Amino acid sequence: MTPLEIADLALRTPVINSSPLPRYSYQNLDYGMTIGIAKTNGGRLWACWVGGGDSPKAFFVLGSSDDDGKSWSEPRFVVDMHSSELPEPMSTLVGNLWTDPSGRLWWFLGQSMGQYDGRAGVWASVCSNPDTEAPSWSEPVRIWHGYTLNKPVVLKSGTWLLPVSLWDRRFISAPFGELFHELDDQRMAHVFASVDQGKTWTRRGGVLIPDSEFDEHIMIEREDGSIYLTARTHANGIWESVSSDEGASWSVPQYSGISNCSARHLMIKLKSGRVLLVKHGGKIDSTTDVRSHLCAFLSEDGGRSWKGSLLLDERSAISYPDGFQSEDGYIYVSYDKNRATEGEILMARFTEDDILSGEFKSPRSSSKMLISRPLGIRKN
């Protein structure tokens, strides 16, 4: 097969395995990288993480909790498209979980041949009954090329905005290095919009972030209706851009003043109107080199300035925060620890008051709560 014929295999629809045990039990898993966390209207928590490795071996695992994160199920759903019949591994590596305004649970899946074939693809599956004993998922639908790592944003106008990144050519793995040059002028942080509650998605605009490291961009809507976007870079902290037309055009990107190592960060609009930021380092203008000291901050002015600092986890090799705020005001953040040697997926639960006081003092606040641990690591 030619490299293009191999890459086209990633256009196959992902298959959601609803009976993953015992093959994908914790006893048999040996890696853990967090993807996302969400809460349903009925109160169930769902978490997604990567098994196999941050590599062509990657696949997705999905588990749930019915006691607010005190305990978690064995893996309930898996997307693993690997097959000995394929000429190259088909990876499921980037995605997220999101509960939409109507209560449906969305599972965003990134699929590629190898680590990254230069095109990849964002797929979405929707679960309309995520609180039932036997949740069911729709057949995944491909939205576009690239990857979606962070959750959509619902604007005051009702439009949904989805961050989609088409990665730079330098990340393309063999044997796909000479493919998809026709996409080179589209390798940037894109914004896709839906005006029909996710039935269809259309590219609205995009911004090219200097020294981008996978973009991993995330957005909030400010009080004035502008869209504030932040993105990961390789060595220059978090960069920002602003749109005044719901994502169609963007300001020239610039350094935000937020220092962070080359790692994912989290930014969400809270019910109070404040903005939450989770990144590495206890001060906005400082960070760490080893992905340690994961901290939460608050902004009263749409991300222009920040206050408070709550240390979620001081240890090294912790990364990739994702989260949401529940109806009762508590904030939930998932992250991973020592992906290849411990593979733990963890959760912190806290409030805005905790951030401002710098300590976990609210009644249900807690840190370092275990979501999953791949016990197969201990067999090696």
Going residue by residue through the chain (380 aa), what tens digit of pLDDT does each one get? 999 999 999 999 999 999 999 999 999 999 999 999 999 999 999 999 999 999 999 999 999 999 999 999 999 999 999 999 999 999 999 999 999 999 999 999 999 999 999 999 999 999 999 999 999 999 999 999 999 999 999 999 999 999 999 999 999 999 999 999 999 999 999 999 999 999 999 999 999 999 999 999 999 999 999 999 999 999 889 999 999 999 999 999 999 999 999 999 999 999 999 999 999 999 999 998 889 999 999 999 999 999 999 999 999 999 999 999 999 999 999 999 999 999 999 999 999 999 999 999 999 999 999 999 999 976 54
Interatomic CA distance for residues 97 and 256, integer angstroms: 27
Strand partners, 254: 240
| Element containing residue 266 per DSSP (H, E) | strand 266-269
Query: What's the pLDDT score for residue 111?
Result: 98
Query: What's the pLDDT score for residue 228?
Result: 98
Interatomic CA distance for residues 309 and 60, integer angstroms: 32
Which one, of 321, 371, 333, 331, lies nearest residue 352 by Cα? 331
Contacts of 149 by beta carbon, 8 Å cutoff, 6+ apart? 94, 95, 96, 110, 163, 165, 214, 216, 264
Interatomic CA distance for residues 378 and 380, integer angstroms: 5
Domains of the chain in sequence order: 3-379 (2.120.10.10)
Q: Which two tokens stand for residue 231?
A: 């993105």
